[in-house]
Structure 1
Amino acid sequence: MSDGIPAKAREYLARPGFAGLWRSLRKRLENNELAIRGWVVVELDYEAAEDVSGLLGRLIGPGRARVSLTDLDAALRSSAVAHGLVTVVGEMTGGPLTDRKAVSRTRREQKLDVWARWEAAIADSGLDAAPWVSRWQEGVRRAGLISRAGNDVDTVIRRTVAVLRALSETIPLGDRDATAMAEALPAAPSFELSELAGRACSDAHALDEGQLTAALVLRALAAATGESVPKTSVARRELWALSGVTPDRVSGTVMAWSVRPPGEHLWARSMRDRADLGLVSHVTLQEWHAAADRLWAAPGEQVFACENPQVLQAAARADVKTPLLCTSGNPATVALRVIDCLIAGGAVVRYHGDFDTAGVRIAKRLFERGVRPWRYAVEDYLASIDRARLPLTGTVPVTPWSPGLASAMEAHQLAVHEEALLDVLLDDLASGSAAQWSLGSRHPGM
């Protein structure tokens, strides 16, 4: 016996003829707030029709029958069963009934409450007026990311907002000008990923691959930068780097050709050995830390730097002996630290990059660190525009090292990538003639 239903009554209700009726009633009641009203329509064979007729005390024939919930409830209560319809249906179908509408309503209310807390956190962050936020929010809703947080939702919201606030200190995430983010990218490295996670989340692993907070922040960065939501590990690392975050100590590198650090330290000797063997070195942040207190070049030595790996590859193929670094686009943290180390040690670093909007931004940041131009002035641009016919996109930043460069690029609306100048750049590297290394070197401070 269970739930107080007498054993004989329970045995009667468990007869096969009732099974279909109980199933239909369970579905009806759960979808109708457990309300005892209306009808269910069931197919009854002869045995089932006889059983239902006996319960209701009136004749019901086999076939398609309409059974009143009110009549069933009254019949059960007045019979030896002595329980109402909701209790009986639950008992005969495996467990208590659930008011599905009430459950759904509770879930909606809980979700609305979560979104209210989410919206409040964004408003408090100071980012609410940024033009990308609505796109981000809609994408998060569609992806159902917040619902995945479960009981950790408040922690995830707090961490996500904290990370975005930390990033907004170095990139204009909160700017109401829709073009501000585009003009600021690619951003100079400002954080290592674990450092950012530790500072904003008090957990160095909060932004690791697969973490929900990381997914939410990356979606925000994608919306803010106009990039696609990254689907692969490589794409996620690239978006972090674009936003000024170094994902780890081994994936970001600076490429080095013919770099021969002085001294008898094991690392310096290994770099010289690789240069003597004609090998390109991919220096990671991990390696930089291992050699951080070492000179990378002799004081006064000229070290060149380029943006595109094809330039370094051509230099290696030509076996030029002049030291050359390659940032492979936006410099990773290790590239900036190596360049800073070279300058601090008295070396002269000269840089050439693409004549396009992103290239000028990269060059501007490097020149502000003490790097000098290498064929990267207005005269160099004007002399090269007949080599490539690529359209210029975006607004060119100011170019204080060569005041006419930005206006010339805007006037011609043409971009010139480094590959188009390989012969000129290789001649410079091979000649070792300091006078030819940059027309831009005539400008003050360069």
Structure 2
Amino acid sequence: MLRLTDIIRLSMKTLSEKKVRAILTIIGIAIGPLAITMIYGVTSSYSDYIVSQIQGLGQNLIVVTPSQGYQLSDRDLNRIREIPHVVSAAPFYSTQGYYGGKTSNTVFVYAVDPDFLTKAISSLQILKGVAPSPNDASKCILGYDIAFDESGREVYDIGDVVSVSVFVSTSSGVSERRLNVMVSAIFAKYGGALFLNPDKSVFVPFSAAKLLLGVSNWTGILVLADSPENVDSIVGSINDMYGNNVNVVSFIGIARIASSITSAVNFMTFAASLSAFAVAVAGVASTMITSVMERTREIGVMKALGFTDLQIVILTLSEGIIMSLIGGFVGIILGVIGAHILASKGLVISSGFFNIVIRTSPKITIGLIAEVVLLTVLTGITGSILPAYRAAKIPPAEALRYE
């Protein structure tokens, strides 16, 4: 029996004799591992980030907004509160504007019960100060990026007055109004999100929407379920109650959709990368068939010396596997480098007033590396198995006469 060291030594000797051909084949093999490692690593990291951000906004939280022509009222609020598994429900109003007299200082303004907000989104933590009471319309909670500038210098402190110009929808159209509120608390850095950016938001008690902004219509109702397992049943109950009069969205449902979309993207990436492996298989097969033809006399000598068909097959397969492992190793290294370069550029999501840039480290896991290595080895075996079979079937006497 051949020892493993003998197999590797003989295979490396054969490959070194035709360096250019071996290098070109290795480059072709490396494309597949490079594509999977780079693209899959980046898309997986974005997927995990998006899902975690959505879930961080409250897996128990449900948002009910009216459809065109319908207005939510206290009667609707009470009906929703009576639905089984609903812990609490509160109306809210949201709009956009700017602060500090600069239109570039864009901001979201949310009028909602502060106690409900911190209970529904537990990841929101107050850095300093105390949340205003529901009836204190003159106070607010500031997002971190408003209270502090990019260098970390505090711009607004507790007790300061923030002047925000907001855009309010009225019967005659959209009008601009001034909202002057005192800072009662400042939220800790949240890090941004896709549907709510607490760091660039001003939160005021719901009473401020009517008293200071003069609006009577609600943007919607926030509903808090007792557990994530009961969110779907509550969503179904609200849909049964109101039909097309309202739109019902749960953050856990959005997280599921985002996860399914990114899973589909990963699958398409994987399927596209398989085409690169298919090309690599053809390249390995072409290289190995040519190698077998050139070494017909050598193979005949080896068989005359006592090498069995199985040993010839193992030697031929080992050449393809070694090329594949080298190509896979090169592809993985280049893929990791490429993934970090792509991730450093970030994913820009435009949300009207804001451009949210997501930057995460690529998700390069042991499982991903293992899958890539396995696919690469299979590429070498698949591309080498036919040439190995042909090599094993060469008659020794005929091979010795081959020129």
Give the structure-2-normalised TM-score.
0.20
Of the two structures, which has the highest relative contact order with CA contacts closer than 8 Å and spacing of 6 or more?
A: 2
Q: Find the structure with the greater CA-based Rg.
A: 1
Relative to the length of structure 1, the TM-score reads 0.18
Q: Normalized per residue, which structure has more strand?
A: 2
